[in-house]
Amino acid sequence: MTNTTLKLLAQQLQLSISTVSRALKDHPDISTATKEKVHALANSLDYEPNAYAIQLRTQSSKIFGVIVPAIANLFYDSFIAAIEEESRKNGYALMILQSSNNPENELNNLKIFRQNRVSGVFACLSAHTHNLEVYEKMSDREIPVVFFDIVPKDNKYTKVRMADERCAVIAAENIIQRGAKRVLALFGDPALSISQKRRQAFQQFMEKYAPKTHCTYEHTNSSLEAETAFKKHLSKIQKFDTVFAMTDEILIGVMKAIQALNIKVPKEMGVISISNGFIPSLYHPNISYVETSGYELGKLAFVQMLANLKGGKTLSELTVDARFIEGGSM
Amino acid sequence: MTNTTLKLLAQQLQLSISTVSRALKDHPDISTATKEKVHALANSLDYEPNAYAIQLRTQSSKIFGVIVPAIANLFYDSFIAAIEEESRKNGYALMILQSSNNPENELNNLKIFRQNRVSGVFACLSAHTHNLEVYEKMSDREIPVVFFDIVPKDNKYTKVRMADERCAVIAAENIIQRGAKRVLALFGDPALSISQKRRQAFQQFMEKYAPKTHCTYEHTNSSLEAETAFKKHLSKIQKFDTVFAMTDEILIGVMKAIQALNIKVPKEMGVISISNGFIPSLYHPNISYVETSGYELGKLAFVQMLANLKGGKTLSELTVDARFIEGGSM
DNA sequence: CTTATTTACGCAAACGATTGCGGTAAATTT
DNA sequence: AAATTTACCGCAATCGTTTGCGTAAATAAG
């Protein structure tokens, strides 16, 4: 069965295409009687406007592009979920592509977005992208780009991200409040600015407000590494009484070690992490964490996108604030 | 800056649009010299064909639609990841929409897909969709639909799903092998056919091959319900020694209870579940599970889609096989 | 040196919708 | 009765590509 078009409707009704088009969108030039007829036939024939023809004519698609390192990720998928919700509300659809942290994929994805003339792009830089030329190309096309999470340093870009330093500071505050004597602080890939920022903020805060608390810092790249690091440090003479995990991945490693060694939380060991909340809720007691919500970040990113689209150049950097969620592990 | 079009290239080169178009796609009618000139200018002007114009002309978009209940879900996101990989390889992009288990959203999503004239749709029915008329409408438009995971019963549809019965049977086998005396078997929403199938297969197998093993069956709709059910049954005189969790959600509830009560796994309690593997790997010891890979399901679904597109009507139902993954909880 | 055959390119009609600019009948005003 | 409005509607160009068909020039064949 062939798709119903304006032309078809026009023929059946003995009207011109333009009249049908106008009737369908309630144009004042068209009489009520005609409008009703048109609507009736359109309904019974299941008319669906061809989005491609519209875009071709109006030069504006109702599609946003999204680039994430990976869809299968607790943080990004909640980000996407948020964007999707907002997009639907505003009549947009989403085209989602993953970079797999590969700059080459990133490049290709951007190309697909350009060919589909997306209205805007939400982009999370892949881990080691330094060449932002590709994104310049989008600007040339007047396609707004909102960066999220992993964002470029340059201030000429629109970006939203978590308040990384605040996160680390809140964690530090709670560690001090617990009265921790010795702390093992586990961070992620030292090459990532997010790891650097969090560690720096954490360390500075601890040194300033709790100089007597002994902190050991370590960077690990996987759950397994975190687990190993935890066990290694525990076998030392001076045992630590509190552990800080910068990411879910690290927390997972830590918790495996804690379960394996049957360590009592929070009595024998305090645990705190930065997370969106899902992983911490898997354990008993729930792990206390500083919340970084991908969902909220998504909402914020969308606001930025809309502002950008409306015309105003929003070159600002917005951050979503962090808050402490009490579990029972401190 | 305005987008480069064929027309622009043609003007600058003093050629006709058709010649430029053909040169760009290496048509034999065009001389090598001309081709080179065209390519050179196209490159320097960053020509990107307008996907909308192409679709309008060729009546075929290079986009697949995907409907999932939720993107932020360990199973579906790996499914999506798989589809995305394959799509990219085949020159397709993805449009992803979530139904939030709301049939109304489902309807709207389908509409967006139709308006964007997607080449095909991957759909997971929302929990209580019974009216498949909407999907019929896609068939009318000759848009192939591949159902996955939660699929309609009717055999006229193309579907891929996990081998639900096999999963349950494999779990039962391992429970018998462990020599379990009393089993608590936790299943999901009884209204879902997936719950029914798994329970039925499980129960039949147990009754046939281990009639002396006492099994208690219960349906729970959330982690919390599972946790509560677990605790309730444990407080009875006859304690169970093995628990079977049909989904990750249920497993999470079970494990919270186990941690809270400090029950030793596997000595005091055997645990087995059906999962894609992520959640079971979070605990120590790793939970043994029957693998249902969203990723594999995605790959399979894509194969079906391609077959469907190539013309052959593939009305079959394919299932991805299940296998037991030894953790340490049995 | 005429006839075929290639080679290399251009014309123009689609695809489906939008929209400025008119146009014509009927209704209203002079 | 003539002039002017108003209400409705149609014409045709346009968005950027694709593609069947036509044709001049160049080459090959007779």
Q: Assign B211 a pLDDT band (cuts: 50, 70, 90).
A: very high
Write out the two tokens for B87.
Answer: 């799509």
Yes or no: say if B86 and B302 are a contact pair by the CB < 8 Å rule: yes
Residue with tokens 């359109």: A42
Residue with CA nearest D9 C1'?
A19
Answer whether A108's CB lies under 8 Å from A67's CB. Answer: no
Which A residues in the span 82-101 are in contact with B, Cβ-Cβ below 8 Å? 84, 88, 93-98
**Within 10 A of A271 (CB to CB), how many other CB atoms are there?**
25
d(C-alpha A318, C-alpha B317), whole Å: 48
The structure tokens 């009484």 sit at A241
pLDDT at B313: 65
Q: Supply A322's token pair.
A: 């962090």
Q: What is the mean pLDDT of residues A180-190?
A: 95
Beta strands in B41-111 (DSSP E): 63-68, 93-98
CA dist., res. B130 & res. B32, Å (int): 59
Token pair of A228 as six digits: 């190993």
Question: For B7-20, how does the pLDDT look when each residue is reduced to its tens digit (9 = 90+)?
Answer: 999 999 999 999 99
Q: What is the DSSP string of B16-53?
A: -HHHHHHHHTT-TTS-HHHHHHHHHHHHHTT----HHH
Strand D contacts in B 13-32 (CB under 7 A): 17-18, 21-22, 24-25
- Residue numbers in A 1-30, CB below 7 Å of strand D: 14-19, 29-30
Which of A97-101, A235-239, B242-246 is the most confident on average? B242-246
Between A183 and B133, the higher pLDDT residue:
A183
Q: How large is the average pLDDT for residues A230-255?
A: 94
pTM of the model: 0.84
Q: Residue B42 has what pLDDT?
A: 92
- The separation between the first and the last C-alpha atoms of chain A, rounded to the nearest angstrom, is 64
B126 to each of A160, B148, B297, how far by Cα in Å?
A: 32, 11, 17
B112 touches chain A (CB under 8 A): yes
DSSP β-bridge partners for residue B10: none
Looking at residue A315, its pLDDT comes to: 65
What dihedral angle (degrees, nearest 10) is formed by the CA atoms of B177, B181, B182, B184? -10
Measured between beta carbons, which residues in chain A are less than 8 angstroms from residue B98? Answer: 81, 84
